[in-house]
Chains A and B, each alone.
Chain A
Amino acid sequence: MIRATRMKRTEARRRLVIVGNGMATESLISRLGTDHGWSVRVLGEEPVRHYNRIMLSPLLGEETDLDAITPRDDAWYRARRVTVSLGKRVARLDRQRRCLYCDDGERVDYDTLVIATGARSSMPPLPGVAELDGVSGFRSLHDVERLRGWSRARPGVRAVVVGAGLLGVEAAVGLRRLGADVTLVHRRPVLMNRQLDASASSLLEAALAARGIRVRTGCDPKRLLGDTSVSAVEVEEGGAPRTLPADLVVFATGITPNRELAQAAGLECGAGVRVDSALRTSDPHVHALGECCEFQGNTYGLVAPVQEQASVLARVLKGQRARYRDPSLVTRLKVSGLDIHSMGQVEAVAGQQTLWLSDPQAGVYKKLIIEDGRLRGVLLVGDVRHSQWYFQTHQSDRDVSALRDVLLTDPSRDDDESTPADVSVDVA
C-alpha cells in the first residue's frame, strides 16, 4: 500500500504529452486506463473533440451525426487524468529541451512524448489537382464538411471519386446518400483489389450500382479540367481518352503519414516515423504510433494494427514489457447494408485450397483459402456473422481440418476450441 502510494506520487510528476487526437490517441488513453502514473496532455489540431474517423462515410451520408461518433465525454478523460487541448497546432519539437512549441506560442514540456499525428490523403500530382476548387481528399471532418457544403449547395452535383479502395467506396456511398450523382473510377479491374477477388468485386459493384453509383474500372485519371473550379476529369479508359463531367472530385488514392514534425526534429523517418517494437522512435523519450509511424517498413491505415500498437504502448508506458508485431489484418467496409470483411490472402497460390459459398441474389459471397489445414485468407461479403471467429482462427493459425465440413456455413457452432486467441483487449 505504502509503496503504491509513493510510486503514484513520484510518477505523478511525469508528463506524458500526445500530439494528435485521433483514433490512436483515444485507443492509447483507453488502454492506459485509470491506473497509471502519468499526467497526460493531448494536443489536437482539429478544433473538435476526438471523433471516430472510420465513421466519416456515415457522417458524410448523414446517417449519423458528430455527437454520435464522439465516443468520449469530459468525465471519461477526467477519470484518466487527461487534459485535451483542441485547435492546438504544434509547430516544432525541441528534443533537447523536451518541449513542443505551439502556433499559439505556448510551450509544452514533456517527460515522454507520443507522436500520433495520423495521415492525410495523398493527392496525386495531376494537372489541376492543386489549382482547382472542388477537389478534396476524404480523411477529416474538414473534408466531410466541405463535401457536404458543396453537395448541399448544388443538389444533383456531379461527383467523381477516384480510387475504389475502402475509403473511396465509403466516400462514394456517403456522397450518393447526399444526393450527388456519383461516378467511382478505379484504375484496376477489381474494386478494393487489396481485399477482394473478382467475384466479391462484382458483388460490390452490383451493390454500388443498386445504390445508383456508376462504377468505372480500368479507368485512369490524367488531369482535371476547369477554370477556377473543376468541371471535368479527363481519364484514359481502355486505351482511349474520355472526359467525365465533374463538379467535385474526391481523391481516395492513398494516404501519406504526417511525419513532418518528427522529421524536422531529426527523428529517423522513412515513409513514416520509424519505431521499434516498443513503438519507440530514434529518441528514447519519443514514441510514435498509428498512421504516422513506420514499423519494419510498414505503414498503417487500418484500425486493428493501430489498436494493437496502442495496447503495446500503453503497457510500455506503464513500465511493462510488451512487443508489437503486426496482427492479422481484417478490413471491414463501413457501409450500412454492405458488409465486407477481408483478411489475409485474397487469392490462393499453389499448394493452397479454395472453398467458397455464394448467394449472388442476396449479395453473399464467402471465400476461404486453406493451406495445411490453416486459414490463409478469408473474404466475407454480405454475411459476416462469423467474421470474428475467422479472425481469431486466422490469427491463432490453428488447424481447422476437423471443422472443414462446416467451415463456410457454421464454423463456430461445434467448435469447442473457440477461445479468443491473443485478442486480449484491455478495457479501461
Chain B
Amino acid sequence: MASIPSPARTRYTRSWLSRHSPQLALNGVMLVITLVFLIPLLVVISASFTSEQALTRNGYSLWPTEFSLDAYNYIFLDPTQILRSYGVTISVTVIGTVFGLLIMSLLAYVLARHDFTWRRPLAFFVFFTMLFNGGLVPTYILITQYLRLRNSLAVLILPYLVVPWFVFLLRTYFLTLPKEFIESAKLDGANDWQIYAHIVMPLSTPALATIGLFCILMFWNDWWLALLYIDEPRLYPLQYLLFAILRNAEFLSANSTASSVLTTVLPPLQTTRMAMAVVAMGPIAIAFLALQRYFIRGITLGGIKGE
C-alpha cells in the first residue's frame, strides 16, 4: 500500500485522485474480501426461502429459484414456543452478559494488578480450568442433585459466567492501559475498588464491548446446557429448540423405513437448516450493530483526528 504523506505539506499540491488513491485501493481490497464473506451468507438466506425440491434440483443460488416459506412454516409450526424461546434466550443473554462482564472484569482487574501478591497463582487457578474438567457425569450430579438447578434459568447462566479465555483477554487489555493513571489515582488516595470503577472501567470501553459481544454470542448460541439440564419446553432457549426440531426431523427421516408417518407436514431438512441459521442470526445483528461503534474508530471522512 502506498504511503500517506504528511497531510500538512501535501494537501494543496496533489490532485483529489492521488490524495485518495490509497483509500480507494483499500476500499477495493475490502470490498473483494467482504464479497467472499458475503456470498455464502446470501446463499444461506436465499436457500432458506427456496423450496426443498427446487434446491435439490437446481442447487444453491443467490436468489431463490422457487420461492417458498416451507422451511419457516416448519420452524414456526408452534409460534408461541418460538417466541417463548426467544424470551428465554434474551433473558439468559442479558443477565449472563451483565453479570459475566462484571465478575470477569473484577477478576481480570485483580490479575492485572502487579501489586496483588497472589496474581500468578490465581492466574494459574483460572487457567487450569481451561484444560481440565471433571467430565459430564460429576458435573451433572453436582448441578442436578446438590445445587438442584435443573429446569431453571440459573443453570443456563451460572456455568458460563466465568470464561477463562475472556478473563485472560480482559486482563491483557487492562495491562495495556497506561500505568500512570493507576499510580496517580493511588497517590490521590483512591482505593483499589475506586480505581477499578472510576479509572479502569471507563478507559476500557472497547475491551468491555468486545468481551460483552463475545458473552452475548456465547449465551445466544448455547444449546448444550439446555440439552443437559432443561426438560421443560417452556425453558427451552432458542438454539436448543432449533437443535431439537432439526434433530427430531433428521431422526424421523433416517428411520423412514421403520415406520409409517401420520403427519401433515414433512420436514424440508435442507432448507430448514438454512432457515434456522437465519432465525438465529437475525436478532444478534442488532446487538452487533449497537456494540460496533465501540470497536470501529470514529474517524470521519477526509480528516485525521487531531489534525
- Tell me if chain B binds chain A: no
A contact set with B: CB distance below 8 Å:
none
